[in-house]
Amino acid sequence: MPTLTPHEKRLHNTNLRLREALERLVKGIPTHPDLQKRSYRLTVAALAREARVGRNAIYTNHRSIIEDLHRASERKIIPEKLAVWEDKLAQQHALIQVMQIEERRMVTENAVLLKRILEAEKEVERQKRHNARMIAERDRAVKPVPLPQGQKS
């Protein structure tokens, strides 16, 4: 087995830490104090916090873990530790919060799209008026003009 350079060792160790952190987050048993105190979503920030690495390290050197993170969040895995109804209730509250955040994001996105539509409609009306002026000007330019009759002496 070839000897790893210090950089390769760091990458390998960070990858192991990220995989273990992802597994803990999916199971619902995070070790980071901030994640234990409150509900969390499966995000790159939560993964970085749990693995105690920087987010830039994940985006730069560990893109595959991001795909795994997205797949885990799409599966909507229910943590194994949810045995008591209080835990299930807490999970439901967390899910409600996530959905409310997503709803606010969608409302904001819809507002932005509506604003773009209204601006586009204004631009269309402006272009129609401009086009009408240009057609009128062209029609005036093309219209035959009677030449004045020369005076006979």
Domain check: are 1 and 76 in the same one?
yes
136 and 93 in a common domain: yes
Query: Is residue 52 classed exposed, middle or buried when 0-12, 13-18 and 19+ CB atoms within 10 A define those classes?
Result: exposed
Residue 152 lies in a domain: no
Tens of pLDDT along 40-49?
Answer: 888 999 999 9
Say yes or no to pLDDT of 144 above 70. Answer: yes
Give phi and psi for 121, each to the nearest 5: -65, -40
CA distance 144 to 19: 82
Domain that holds residue 98: 82-142
- The domain tally of the chain equals 2
Say if 151 falls within a structural domain: no
Reported as a single tens digit per residue, the pLDDT across 66-124 is 999 988 887 755 554 545 666 778 788 888 998 999 999 999 999 999 999 999 999 99
Domain finish residue from 80, 114, 131: 80
The model's confidence at residue 36, banded by pLDDT at 50, 70 and 90, is confident
67 backbone φψ class: left, alpha, beta (φ>0; ψ -120 to 50) = alpha
User: In this structure, are 73 and 96 located in the same domain?
Assistant: no
CA–CA separation, 106 and 121 (whole Å): 22
